[in-house]
């Protein structure tokens, strides 16, 4: 009998809904999270408590999960919250609170300055891209074209998320996203998968894709990046991501990850070295090439892609082979030697 009761108790607890609320504007984030909790009849859990980890959340669920009239939790997270970790923790099979909605509160008045900040741009873009709901606070003095551009950018970054303009006292309609199956797709992944559909109203926001079979010459790529991101020669690139190959590191595919003014290239996988056995047998074929998505304001996609084309290896350089490429000057940050780049 006790065993049956325990199973019933766990079943109820396992189905308790959790809404995560993130955002870089602490005042607006908390205000909206509290309004959402009140509207839904959920328990509000402040960032000071969620930063203690999923174990603290599970204990709270145990304490109040069986309370009459308790329908779920609104979990506020601080500025430095990692959305991937939130989704992972609240989608695990043994978690007691199940994530149904990840809300990112964005103050459109601060959007451009946050994107110009190395310390905030990456966090802001990640929060937007992982969100299932975007609660947008429009500045009262902004012109309509500025708001349209900001919303257009957000629609490009997070095409699957529901967008909601914040009004006094209003909250968005309930969302039930199955994060355990997959999080919402970011705009750059939709672009690379040829699944992106531009929104009807984008302002001056544009997106483009660059594909090229040849690897980049590291010095020429550095020059293009300086002109593209540092000087804005082909428009203001807000976000770019995908997969890249440096000739000077021919056996490693890199993940290209740029938000605002900061770009990182991190090793994604090590390709076979000459002489290594291949799964299908036969001679080695190096995995070369680029597949990149770009999102930004007033993008000159033709000019940008032409500049990137000029940064890849020439015919003569390509024929020289990997041993010659390894000698190219390379000022990109070093990778762990385990990747053999």
- List the end-to-end C-alpha distance of the chain, in Å, as a whole number: 61
As a whole number of angstroms, the distance between CA 37 and CA 43 comes to: 6
As a whole number of angstroms, the distance between CA 195 and CA 18 comes to: 29
Task: From first to last of the 341 residues of the chain, give the pLDDT tens digit.
Answer: 334 433 443 444 456 899 999 999 999 999 999 999 999 999 999 999 999 998 888 888 888 766 666 789 999 999 989 999 999 999 988 888 899 999 999 999 899 999 999 999 999 999 999 999 999 998 876 566 678 889 999 999 999 999 999 887 789 999 999 999 999 999 999 999 999 998 877 789 999 999 999 999 999 999 999 999 999 999 999 999 999 999 999 989 999 999 999 999 999 865 544 444 433 333 333 445 899 999 999 999 999 999 999 999 999 999 999 999 999 999 999 987 544 34
Residue 199 resides in a domain = no
Domain of 168, CATH number, reads: 3.40.50.300
Closest CA to 157 of 199, 210, 204: 199
**Judgement on whether residues 65 and 168 belong to the same structural domain of the protein:** yes
| Tokens describing residue 277 | 């056995």
Sign of the four-CA dihedral 146, 235, 123, 193:
positive
**Judgement on whether residues 247 and 173 belong to the same structural domain of the protein:** no
Task: Supply the DSSP string of 296-307, one letter for each residue.
Answer: EES--HHHHHHH
**Judgement on whether residues 162 and 216 belong to the same structural domain of the protein:** no
**Judgement on whether residues 23 and 93 belong to the same structural domain of the protein:** yes
**Judgement on whether residues 145 and 27 belong to the same structural domain of the protein:** yes
Closest CA to 223 of 136, 124, 96, 308: 308
**Judgement on whether residues 161 and 305 belong to the same structural domain of the protein:** no
Q: Which of 186, 217, 238 is the last residue of a domain?
A: 186
Q: Which of 135, 152, 186 is the last residue of a domain?
A: 186
**Judgement on whether residues 40 and 174 belong to the same structural domain of the protein:** yes
**Judgement on whether residues 64 and 154 belong to the same structural domain of the protein:** yes
As a whole number of angstroms, the distance between CA 95 and CA 12 comes to: 12
**Judgement on whether residues 293 and 160 belong to the same structural domain of the protein:** no
If one counts every other C-beta atom within 10 angstroms of the C-beta of residue 341, the result is 21
Residue 46 resides in a domain = yes
Q: Tell how far CA 318 is from the center of its chain.
A: 34
Domain of 267, CATH number, reads: 3.30.1220.10
Cα atoms in the 13 Å half-sphere on the side-chain side of 156: 27
Please, what is the Cα angle at 126 between 108 and 197, to 5 degrees? 75
If one counts every other C-beta atom within 10 angstroms of the C-beta of residue 296, the result is 26
- Please state whether beta strands 236-244 and 252-259 pair in parallel, antiparallel, or not at all (unpaired): antiparallel
Closest CA to 74 of 168, 170, 186, 174: 174
**Judgement on whether residues 335 and 265 belong to the same structural domain of the protein:** yes
As a whole number of angstroms, the distance between CA 27 and CA 301 comes to: 38
Look at residue 66 in the predicted model and tell me its pLDDT: 61
The model carries a pTM of: 0.88
Residue 7 resides in a domain = yes
**Judgement on whether residues 179 and 245 belong to the same structural domain of the protein:** no
Q: Which of 144, 160, 186 is the last residue of a domain?
A: 186
Cβ atoms 16, 65 nearer than 8 A: yes
Provide the 8-state DSSP code for 109: G
Alpha helices in the chain (DSSP H): 2-14, 26-40, 47-50, 54-64, 83-89, 111-115, 121-130, 144-157, 187-192, 218-225, 301-310, 315-320, 322-325
Residue 93 resides in a domain = yes
Domain that holds residue 63: 2-186
Total count of domains within the chain: 2
Q: φ and ψ at 65, to 5 degrees?
A: -60, -25
**Judgement on whether residues 54 and 173 belong to the same structural domain of the protein:** yes
Look at residue 275 in the predicted model and tell me its pLDDT: 43
């Amino acid at each position: 009998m006790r065993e049956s009761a325990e199973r019933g108790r766990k079943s109820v607890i396992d189905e308790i809904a959790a809404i995560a609320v993130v955002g870089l504007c602490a005042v607006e984030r908390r205000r909206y999270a509290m309004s959402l909790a009140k509207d839904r009849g959920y328990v509000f859990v402040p960032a000071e408590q969620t930063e203690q980890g999923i174990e603290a959340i599970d204990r709270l669920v145990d304490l109040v999960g069986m309370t009459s009239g308790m329908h779920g939790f609104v979990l506020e997270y601080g500025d430095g919250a990692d959305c991937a970790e939130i989704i992972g923790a609240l989608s695990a099979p043994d978690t007691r609170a199940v994530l149904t909605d990840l809300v990112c509160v964005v103050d459109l008045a601060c959007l451009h300055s946050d994107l110009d900040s190395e310390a905030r741009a990456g966090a802001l873009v990640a929060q937007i891209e992982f969100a299932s709901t975007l609660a947008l606070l429009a500045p009262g003095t902004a012109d309509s074209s500025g708001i349209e551009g900001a919303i257009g950018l957000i629609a490009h970054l997070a095409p699957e998320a529901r967008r909601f303009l914040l009004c006094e006292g209003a909250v968005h309609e309930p969302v039930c996203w199955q994060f355990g199956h997959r999080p919402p797709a970011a705009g750059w992944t939709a672009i690379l998968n040829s699944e992106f559909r531009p929104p009807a109203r984008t302002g001056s926001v544009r997106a483009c894709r660059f594909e090229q079979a040849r690897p980049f010459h590291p010095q020429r790529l550095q020059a293009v990046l300086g002109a593209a991101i540092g000087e804005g020669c082909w428009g203001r690139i807000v976000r770019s991501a995908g997969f890249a190959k440096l000739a000077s590191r021919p056996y490693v595919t890199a993940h290209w990850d740029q938000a605002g003014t900061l770009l990182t290239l991190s090793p994604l996988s090590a390709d076979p070295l000459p002489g290594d056995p291949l799964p299908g047998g036969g001679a080695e074929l190096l995995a070369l090439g680029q597949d990149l998505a770009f999102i930004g304001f007033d993008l000159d996609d033709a000019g940008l892609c032409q500049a990137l084309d000029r940064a890849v290896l020439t015919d003569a350089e390509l024929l020289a082979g990997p041993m010659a490429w390894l000698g190219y000057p390379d000022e990109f940050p070093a990778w762990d030697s385990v990747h053999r780049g």
